[in-house]
Amino acid sequence: MKLITILFLCSRLLLSLTQESQSEEIDCNDKDLFKAVDAALKKYNSQNQSNNQFVLYRITEATKTVGSDTFYSFKYEIKEGDCPVQSGKTWQDCEYKDAAKAATGECTATVGKRSSTKFSVATQTCQITPAEGPVVTAQYDCLGCVHPISTQSPDLEPILRHGIQYFNNNTQHSSLFMLNEVKRAQRQVVAGLNFRITYSIVQTNCSKENFLFLTPDCKSLWNGDTGECTDNAYIDIQLRIASFSQNCDIYPGKDFVQPPTKICVGCPRDIPTNSPELEETLTHTITKLNAENNATFYFKIDNVKKARVQVVAGKKYFIDFVARETTCSKESNEELTESCETKKLGQSLDCNAEVYVVPWEKKIYPTVNCQPLGMISLMKRPPGFSPFRSSRIGEIKEETTSHLRSCEYKGRPPKAGAEPASEREVS
């Protein structure tokens, strides 16, 4: 089959990696394209030792990426020829086998240009349809060859998430940044995978003071700072990021003005003390309190004094409440239930809690801090939310000796003069 026939059959050439910033569309007149296709087809034929050679039918997609290295990425169709692989002929010397008896196929390949005459196949996948039989897929990856991949590849997602978090955790910028656009990506198959990714980032309206992580409320600022990062990551055979390095350049935004604090969507805000969203949070909070104090009897929430919520990577609740000692002992009762009544002359605790809720993981992490109050008398139930409805009307002022030695629920004794949990920096 003559090369001129192939030129006439080259039907269309499309850009396949549009996100590559230095890619360009090429056509059938690009002589290096056919050198790259020739290298790819010879590589496939060399691995097909027991059958006839395949002959190029047409090229359907092609793009050229020029940078420190030059790569050709393309799709091409092939048909079985009449020359055995071991005949010593090249595929250009073969004719197509009779259509009824010929296998056909489609290949996708990436080929690097090493010199004006040498081309190296980095990766290739061919789907072959025999004349009679199912489709057979053959794949070739050059171990050690670096080659470009699509910027839309799902393989990039965990690395990009890690890269953005790494940048936000290791820079002095007061705002969090988010991904804008992936510009280039390369992959190398070794004992694992090496990736090199270049992407742009943009400043968001979320400050590090009020946000631990990026959330859906974080939006890019049209006049904020921008940047470009290049990450190098090694993914081991357990698909873990075993090695990572990053280099970023930041460009100040034009006429940038820091957003006023009133639009801070991540700042704590007050919520009603009888809000239904507190129900599960309070249940976990009192469970935490009872699990970590050394009291003989269970406590239950008597009254919620104040509640706030902050949107982070999930939600964080700040709750001030009073807890009352009940008649249910830990020795005779397996857990606190609604039937547990508060003692008329029982111990009372003034508490504040920080409760971190991660809805998508269905996990709640409460931290509780309490100080003992005096003995109280139960008379009636004023308004207020509690998962186990009970409350108090007044306090007996005389001092009592508490059997609850510590209400600091982080595994350490309380510190004198410690500020309330709701005013501490969110950890």
The one-digit pLDDT tens for each residue of the chain (427 residues) are 444 444 444 443 333 333 344 678 887 778 889 999 999 999 898 887 768 899 999 999 898 888 777 888 999 999 999 988 888 888 999 999 888 888 999 999 999 887 777 898 888 999 988 887 677 787 877 777 888 888 888 999 999 999 999 999 999 899 999 999 999 888 888 888 999 999 999 999 998 888 888 888 889 988 889 999 999 999 998 889 999 999 999 998 865 555 554 445 567 888 888 888 898 899 999 999 988 888 889 999 989 999 988 888 788 999 999 999 998 988 888 788 888 888 888 889 999 999 999 888 888 899 999 988 754 444 444 444 444 433 333 333 333 333 333 333 333 444 444 444 433 343 3
Q: Are 280 and 299 in contact (CB under 8 A)?
A: no
- Tell me which residue of 227, 210, 238 sits closest to 166, measured CA to CA: 227
- The pTM of the full predicted model, rounded to 2 decimals, is 0.44
Distance separating alpha carbons of residues 65 and 72, to the nearest angstrom:
6
Structural contact between residues 68 and 198, judged by C-beta atoms closer than 8 angstroms: no
Q: Would you list the DSSP string of 244-268?
A: EEEEEEEEPPTT--PPPGGG-TTS-
Tokens for 320? Answer: 């001030």
Q: Which residue has the tokens 């009888």?
A: 274
Q: How many CB atoms lie within 10 A of CB 158?
A: 14
**What secondary structure letter does DSSP report for 235?**
E
Count each helix (H run) and each strand (E run) in the chain, helices first: 4, 18
User: In what order do the strands lie in the sheet containing 241-251?
Assistant: 146-148, 175-190, 192-207, 226-235, 241-251
- Contacts with 155 (C-beta within 8 Å, 6 or more apart), sequence order: 149, 187, 193, 195
Residue 35 belongs to what H/E stretch? Answer: helix 31-46
Domains of the chain: 3-142 (3.10.450.10), 154-263 (3.10.450.10), 269-423 (3.10.450.10)
CA angle 29–8–24, rounded 5-degree value: 30
For residue 248, give Cα distances in angstroms to 21, 67, 207, 333: 18, 19, 19, 59
Query: How far is residue 123 CA from its own chain's centroid?
Result: 27
Task: Determine the Cα–Cα distance for residues 344 and 341; give it in Å rounded to an integer.
Answer: 9
Radius of gyration, CA atoms only, the chain = 34
